[in-house]
Amino acid sequence: MSTATAEAGLTVQTSEGPVRGRVLGDTRSWRGIPYAEPPVAELRLRLPRRARPWSDVLDASGFGPWAPQRIHRLLPGAGPRTPMSEDCLTINVTAPKTPSADPLPVLVFLHGGAFEAGSAAMDLVDGSGITAMGNVLFVSMNYRLGALGFMDFRAYSTPDRPFEANLGLADQVAALEWVQRNIAAFGGDPGNVTLFGQSAGATSALTLMCVPAAAGLFHRAFLQSPAAGVAYSPERTEQWAAEFLGILGVGAGGAAEALSELPAAALVEAAGQLSGKIVPEAQPGARSLAPVVDGTFLPVHPLDAFADGSAQRIPLVLGTMESEGTLFDRFHDVLPTSEARIEKMFALTEPGLRDGVVAAYKGYPHKKQAVELGGDAVFWHPGLQVLQAHSEYAPAWCYRFDYAPRAARLAGLGATHGFDLPAVFGTYGSGAGRALLGLGNRRTTANVGHRFQSALLRFAKSGAPGPMWPKYDTVSRRTKIFDRYDRIELDPRSARRKAWNGYRGYR
């Protein structure tokens, strides 16, 4: 292959300036393209602003820096030398190596990480396999995390130093606006954009379905393990902001200066203490790093928006893992997966529902049932609330991912949170993916992953995940179970579903 052929189509003119990518295997890739101005100095804790134009060709061969965060062992690819910076608002595009004569469907991925960690550069979420297999365009981005992206400091604004809320979500909206302006130049169809994500990324996508500024920027949503109840009132988020400043040792009078001038690392550390230790014990099941129902950018709580039909009425696939809670109980203890936390959660939220819910978990308060209950409280139950409501207004499909490789089963984790990522991305060859296959099951695991990935691709191309996957409704509640052998179940775990009916959490 000649150099000219290999480099064909690698320089693309975007709305801000020309960018030059590179060929990677069977794809063409552009990485680290700024979609907004660096949110630093006077732009820290402010809404994103469109990137300034440039005239020289931008080298788009490498990922941009990760958003400031603490390195966590659950994040494959992160280490002491991982580049991090507040100047992190970059977007990445991967396209098939051979350009298409027709515009291609676009899949936009939002990474997870509890709103405080993660990056589009993680090898576990490499979209080249999706692009090559599906003949689609794959887009990912970094967005602000932690205190810089998901805390509400508006109460400490001054005339000279205003602060705004929902900044991480606003970054995502800015990236989706960039997609609408530019994706056609890369060969994509701006009228066929599927937004998908996992964990906090799925929660973000679900929330964006309720954000007026995001209306029309994407046309389908595929959500893996969203925590649909994780959005809070200004009164609650202001309380957490005050606790955050207390950790920093800063009073209200010095808050604006401290939030503007302290190093990002100090804000990261304080947010980690609040979200990782203080709030999980004080308000089990709540997350201090989360969207705020501010009345403007996010007018109402997402669960209420789905219930009243004001969420975007677009095709939706939503699912959870069979054992969401086990990963957190073992490695990231922030869920209500102990008897003490569960009892406190009900006391603070819905004490009248406590007896009925725990009775549905035979064997509670034994550890296994407590872990199941905690995972269901945060992921499964609110996800069903969304599906129940949305299915009345738009096409909706439900799944549960039950397959776990032998290594995961023997470790006592089962099909837990995040183990669907290598399946949907086809990245079992990554470091984390290889660990899951350390004791075999390679062929079966690959087959399950292929079916899961194929469902995403069919959904992106046609608006439905497959002919053998019926829509969700509130009568039959048909749910696709991904396992060694896939199946459809009617109203799985119906006793638990009925027991949770009416639970509203920390709204």
Q: What does the H/E/C string look like for 324-355?
A: CHHHHHHHCCCCCCCHHHHHHHHHHCCHHHHH
CA angle, corner 38, sides to 273 and 201, nearest 5? Answer: 55
CA angle, corner 155, sides to 154 and 156, nearest 5? Answer: 90
The one catalytic residue in 128, 199, 204, 391 is 199
- Residue-wise DSSP of 231-275: -B-HHHHHHHHHHHHHHHT--GGGHHHHHHHS-HHHHHHHHHHII
The one catalytic residue in 324, 381, 390, 430 is 324
Look up 199 and say whether it is catalytic.
yes
303 touches 507 (CB < 8 A):
yes
Report the alpha-carbon distance of residue 125 to residue 260 in Å, rounded: 33
Grouping H, G, I as helix, E, B as strand and the rest as coil, residue 430 is coil
Q: Smallest Cα–Cα separation from 357: which of 371, 336, 375, 377?
A: 377
191 touches 218 (CB < 8 A):
no
CA angle, corner 280, sides to 492 and 302, nearest 5? Answer: 55
For the beta sheet containing 58-59, the strands, ordered from the edge strand earlier in sequence to the opposite edge, are 11-13, 18-20, 58-59
Look up 324 and say whether it is catalytic.
yes
Q: What is the dihedral of CA 411, 414, 417, 420, to 10 degrees?
A: 110
Instruction: Return the DSSP state at 385.
Output: H
Q: Which residue has the tokens 């064997």?
A: 363
The one catalytic residue in 111, 301, 390, 417 is 417
Report the alpha-carbon distance of residue 94 to residue 399 in Å, rounded: 27
Instruction: Return the DSSP state at 184.
Output: G
Q: Which residues are designated catalytic?
A: 199, 324, 417
